[in-house]
Amino acid sequence: MGIIHELTPQGGTYQDTFVGLLAEESLPRKRVPQGSSDPREVRKLVSNELLLDGNAGQNLATFCTTYDDEDVRYLMDLAINKNMIDKDEYPQSAEIENRCVHMLADLWHAPHAGATIGCSTEGSSEACMLAGLALKWQWRKGRLAQGKSTDRPNLVCGPVQICWDKFARYFDVELRQVPLTGDGLGMGPEDLAKYCDENTICVVATLGVTFTGIYEPVRELAAALDDLQGRTGLDIPIHVDAASGGFIAPFLQPDLEWDFRVPRVKSINASGHKYGLAPLGVAWVVWRDTSDLPEELIFRVDYLGGDMPTFALNFSRPAGQIISQYYLLLRHGRDGYREIHEACAKSAHYIADQLPRVGPFELLYDGQGALPAVCYRINDDSVPFTLYDLSDHLRMRGWQVPSYPLPANRQDTIIQRILIRHGMSRDMTGLFVADLEAGVKTLTGGPRPSRPGFHHN
């Protein structure tokens, strides 16, 4: 969107938006203005401020959807005034939510997909907290039945998203985060015996680690817990945080056993607004069986004339994202999701192949076997720049590429991670590689390569 120069009639004369009274001073920041203003003028001035935001299509840091189509916008408009929590008032939206739950339960191989339970949430952070609460309550019921203390619950995980730190703090659970060892990028089955005990409410396995994009080995983790149970009697469930991988693995790695095919997996969360392709504001949590969600956590509210069961951390949110998710599941189908994610994976592979050529980079993850992503570090201590410098240089061309240290025990390793999502074409991928190469040349003082595209003689 460019600068707006539209003229609007006011009192028989034409007034330019950017020389009007509202535009002659900074827009209000700390106090609601006394009077009202022309809505068109306000809209244009606010729109103009938004030009300062980054271009979402060039954001290679976010996992979230940055592409949508006209049909999604149409359905979002239809539902802009529907509160998803009011299931008695908007029964068809509630029905669509249930359809999505059962479709995902089937996609993730729940034993009784058409009868199990789940819900939508604002995002995977809320979904993780609901799953964590269910697991804490199940653990507590078991401890009380045995006449044992319930005052020291813990949760075992590898390098997790910050939402699990929040869960542990908000709901009084000790977070036992397994540090990385050797060249490892995630939690391994050999780590579990040292961290699990009778107070462990669950092990969280991550399908799509935030730092690198890899999958933790769910089946192998379950096998290690099977062995632990055989030796100690401890029966510890697994929750799979598949915020990103839950909409990738079923299509790109269909034979990988990470979901409810693994009996120890009791719940799964995934973000519809990440690789589920839905607009921002929807995620999902599904339980293996209705018995895995304690009935005590479900509130049945007599609200606006009807009985409304609810399990959520908020009481107001829009229905549009859920309806859009249903549309996308119908629109793309399994074949469409596979083709979209395959195209993303091919672009990630292309970047991985080019990295050794364009700079002093060592691949840590090449985009094969997990998320369509690339993760790398500088492999030469003599280069006169850091990845932070390179991130800043890429930002000049609009690219948002994150640089950060790995988690505990490998914090001296600084990496960059690139995520490829729907909407990132092969042409744009090639332009990014050219800008990456140009950035390396500039920061090392070498000649900058010419960029692909039109050049004027």
101-132: pLDDT as tens digits:
999 999 999 999 999 999 999 999 999 999 99
- Greater model confidence, 310 or 2: 310
Question: Tens digits of per-residue pLDDT, 63-82?
Answer: 899 998 899 999 999 999 99
Q: Between these two residues, 18 and 390, which has the higher pLDDT value?
A: 390
Rounded to the nearest integer, the mean pLDDT of the chain is: 91
Cα 327 → chain centroid: 20
CA distances to 13, 25, 41 from 19, rounded to whole Å, are 13, 10, 11
Nearest-angstrom CA–CA distance, 126 and 335: 29
More confident residue, 60 or 189: 189
pLDDT tops 70 at residue 449: no
pLDDT surpassing 50 at residue 454? no
The C-alpha atoms of residue 288 and residue 259 are separated, in whole angstroms, by 9
Rg (CA), the chain: 25
pTM of the model: 0.91
Kindly state the greatest CA–CA separation across the chain. Answer: 87
Q: What is the mean pLDDT of residues 388-401?
A: 96
Topology of domain 70-328 in CATH is: Aspartate Aminotransferase; domain 2 (3.40.640)
Boundaries of every domain in the chain: 7-53, 70-328, 347-444
Residue 62 makes CB contacts below 8 A (sequence gap 6+) with 56, 400, 419
In the block, residue with structure tokens 């083709």:
339
Residue 400 has pLDDT above 90, yes or no: yes
Confidence of residue 457 (pLDDT cuts 50, 70, 90): very low
Rounded to whole angstroms, what are the CA distances from 143 to 139, 148, 201, 452?
A: 6, 5, 10, 64
Strand 403-405 vs strand 361-365: parallel, antiparallel, or unpaired? unpaired
> What is the model's pLDDT at position 25?
81
Find all residues with CB under 8 Å of 428, minimum gap 6, and list them. Answer: 57
Neighbours of 450 (CB within 10 A): 9
Does the domain formed by 347-444 have CATH 3.20.20.210?
no
At 448 the pLDDT is: 62
State the average pLDDT over residues 49-66: 90
| Helix then strand then coil, % of the chain, to nearest 5 | 40, 15, 45
Confidence of residue 343 (pLDDT cuts 50, 70, 90): very high
| pLDDT above 90 for 225 | yes
Same fold, 70-328 and 347-444: no
Residue 298 has pLDDT above 50, yes or no: yes
Does residue 314 carry a pLDDT above 90?
no
Instruction: Decide if pLDDT at 9 tops 60.
Output: no
Q: What is the mean pLDDT of residues 333-342?
A: 98
Q: How confident is residue 5, by pLDDT bands cut at 50, 70 and 90?
A: very low
